[in-house]
Structure 1
């Protein structure tokens, strides 16, 4: 078995399609990719994938092997980076990760804690989806992230920070926008635009909320980002459900309204890798309660300024 077999299998599993994996991720032909997967299955002695009309599905063995394959590739990458770092001059660094838009609320306080713990440090800021932040933590790209409590997170630990209520985002001219709160029985008649394509935890919260109060959401679009979701809300006349922090970055053509009755919430947590031995991370975690108490004070957008250490920004993902 070679590393390329693991990379090919993970790409196919994540894309859900041999063709998409071959063209988008691996830049090879589909027949060649199919042969590589068959070779892997023959070596393992089990079937990993089932070919379906709309793509592929993992078998029970494939689901188990996927987690181990991902972990093996991550360990190789971490080991390779560690080896490369031995040839570079040592420079203290600390990586902070945020969900897109959350850094507006949390960055100043997070940087204050870093600055008070050590003055001479290069801070890297990463803004990505929660699953991408989990991968970055597992691969050692960042030290701590404000994210969701993801499930496929080998070696990660989470500290609870705050519960964020979900709110409805509507076009500013929508008939329901004139109400102070939006009733579930009203929104279930409208077109629902999901922004949880890259946010499995948010998707689960919304599904559980709809099932609990007995409504069925009419999903018409599935946006990959919050900004795309708001654009679709404005252009189609539909609505979406998002965590409350999104109200800090609304488009002028949409409005936020609280939900009437029982309000669903989603946890924001601080994630870190248990195997990370950074002394700065250990000191940072001892002050997690400061972040937890800071969040509720800034939910409405009252943010403090702080002196900034040297920063490197990593461009956000999808």
Structure 2
């Protein structure tokens, strides 16, 4: 069943005359008649009753008309969209990142790529570190920016830098003015923890377990923004990477490093191991490398 036959049926059903429908389609009346005949043979039912001047839809034709119209419209819209995409967006780079890293690393790299590869479009997805590794391994992302939470044979990881994890609190909090904080000293304060597992959460838990430190995990959050909401006006603390506080610049929040143990997360580039990297993907990765060299 061809779309051209369905389109001929829809137009003939709307206009009710072979000559008018043939003119609309810019084909001859015999050609239009062959299209309708072929469609009727495919469906196994007559779609029209014919007179010398007009045609009328049969009961089956009336029932099928709106379905055929929808198929024709959706197909033509899809073709138009594809042609438009081919004209203006030749390629697509699929990027996944930790939300806390997005504002720090992505804008300059994307701006550079727009200059060198103006026909490349961006798809940017923010996700936690565990999801990031999974999606890169599946090949649904061209580049991931984040942490390698566990070894995966389908993922290559290139370290960019190490970033400390500390605590954030409001400016009136007792620890806001302290420079030499230790994790054991924070056990008295309500802490915000992730509802779901994340790369940061795993790092923190392992470090606390190794040192036999028991923090007061009191509040539950789903994201960095949730952490900031929880502690901005209250007496709680949230463990966050330094870049998250720097990127959002919330004036009444303070970030403090914490030691014993000092906790770092490894930030790097994740790519699918088995995939061939197009030039625009290699250019984006190189820009990320240069960005870290310049800092």
TM range (shorter): 0.5 to 0.7
Alpha carbons 2:183, 2:261 under 8 Å: kept: no
Aligned CA distance change for structure 1 residues 286 and 227 (closer, same or farther; 3 Å) = closer
State the match for 1:307 in structure 2: none
Task: Give the deviation of 1:289 after TM superposition.
Answer: 3.5
Query: 2:219 aligned to 221, 226, 229, which one?
Result: 221
Aligned CA distance change for structure 1 residues 143 and 243 (closer, same or farther; 3 Å) = same
Aligned partners of 2:242 and 2:92: how far apart in 1?
Answer: 31
Aligned CA distance change for structure 1 residues 292 and 196 (closer, same or farther; 3 Å) = farther
State the match for 2:44 in structure 1: none
State the match for 1:133 in structure 2: 132
Name the count of aligned residue pairs.
210
Alpha carbons 2:105, 2:288 under 8 Å: kept: no
Task: Give the deviation of 1:148 after TM superposition.
Answer: 1.1
State the match for 1:293 in structure 2: 293
Aligned partners of 1:204 and 1:117: how far apart in 2?
Answer: 38
Residue 193 of structure 2 is aligned to residue 208 of structure 1: no
TM-score by length of 2: 0.61
Q: Deviations over 1:161-202 (max 9, x none)?
A: 110001111232211212233232321221221137341x21
Structure 1 unaligned spans of 5+: 1-83, 298-318
Aligned CA distance change for structure 1 residues 118 and 198 (closer, same or farther; 3 Å) = same
State the match for 2:166 in structure 1: 167
State the match for 1:247 in structure 2: 245
Aligned partners of 1:104 and 1:288: how far apart in 2?
Answer: 13
TM-score by length of 1: 0.57
State the match for 2:148 in structure 1: 149
What RMSD in Å do the two structures reach over aligned CA positions? 2.9
- Name the SS of the counterpart of 1:133 in structure 2: helix
- Name the SS of the counterpart of 1:178 in structure 2: coil
Residue 105 of structure 2 is aligned to residue 124 of structure 1: no
After the TM superposition, which residues 1-318 of structure 1 pair with which residues of structure 2 at under 5 Å, given as runs?
88=82, 90=86, 91-115=90-114, 117-151=116-150, 153=152, 155-195=154-194, 197-199=196-198, 201-248=199-246, 249=248, 251-280=250-279, 281-285=281-285, 289-294=289-294, 297=295
